[in-house]
Structures are given as C-alpha cells and as structure tokens.
Amino acid sequence: MRTLLMVLGGVIAATGLLPAADAPVENTTITVEGMHCAGCAKNLSTKLKAVKCVKGAEVDLATKTAKITPADKEKVSPKALWETVVKAGYKPTKLVGPSGTFTETPGA
C-alpha cells in the first residue's frame, strides 16, 4: 500500500498537478488542534493576520489548517506564527513553510 501511494505521488508530481519538490514554498500551513466552531477559526485568522509581514490567513475548521500568505517578498517568522496559535488558545501540531517543517516551537 505504501509503495502504491509513493508511485501515485510520483505520477501526480510528474504530471504537474502538484508543485515540484524544489519549487519555492511561500505560504505557511499550520495544522491546528482545538478549534470547535467558526468563531474559533475567525478568531485565529484575525490573530494570525496581525503577525508581522502576514498578508492573509485562511483558517479552515474542517481540515484544521491555517494557511498564511506573506506580504510581497517578506518572510514570516514561523516562531511568531506558532506562538500566535498557542496564545490564541489552540494547539499547533505541525507547521510547514519556507523555513522548513516543524512539529514543535520553531527556533526563530
């Protein structure tokens, strides 16, 4: 099963449906546990938008993800985003962005 998934992933990447592995990642996606309703999602979105250099933040309650878009040519601190989620009262479990992938508070 695992091998099949890897093959499928390769086919999808080769057909260009997904960005190639070396394409620059600009957005940051955070997996967030602990949101219960649309109010939670809106609250978190507002707080993430207030972080330095953030242009947009879309929080999806169903998929438990927050997608953060940086302002033009700016780099958003993964640590600042992670801490914003924690301060808002939710639990970040994974952050994927230009600086890498984190499953605990990023160092900078």
Q: Which is nearer to Cu ion, 35 or 76 (CB)?
A: 35
Q: Which is nearer to Cu ion, 40 or 53 (CB)?
A: 40
Q: Any contact of residue 89 with Cu ion (CB under 5 A)?
A: no
Q: Any contact of residue 62 with Cu ion (CB under 5 A)?
A: no
Q: Any contact of residue 39 with Cu ion (CB under 5 A)?
A: yes
Amino acid at site 19: P
As a whole number of angstroms, the distance between CA 107 and CA 16 comes to 33
Q: Any contact of residue 21 with Cu ion (CB under 5 A)?
A: no
Instruction: Find the helix or strand (DSSP H, E) in which 44 lies.
Output: helix 38-49
The set of residues, in sequence order, having a beta carbon less than 8 Å from that of 41 and lying 6+ positions away, is: 35, 59, 60, 61
Q: Which is nearer to Cu ion, 35 or 54 (CB)?
A: 35
Q: Which two tokens stand for residue 88?
A: 């808002």
Task: With CB under 5 A as the rule, give the number of residues binding Cu ion.
Answer: 4
Instruction: Give contact residues for Cu ion (rule: CB under 5 A).
Output: 36-37, 39-40
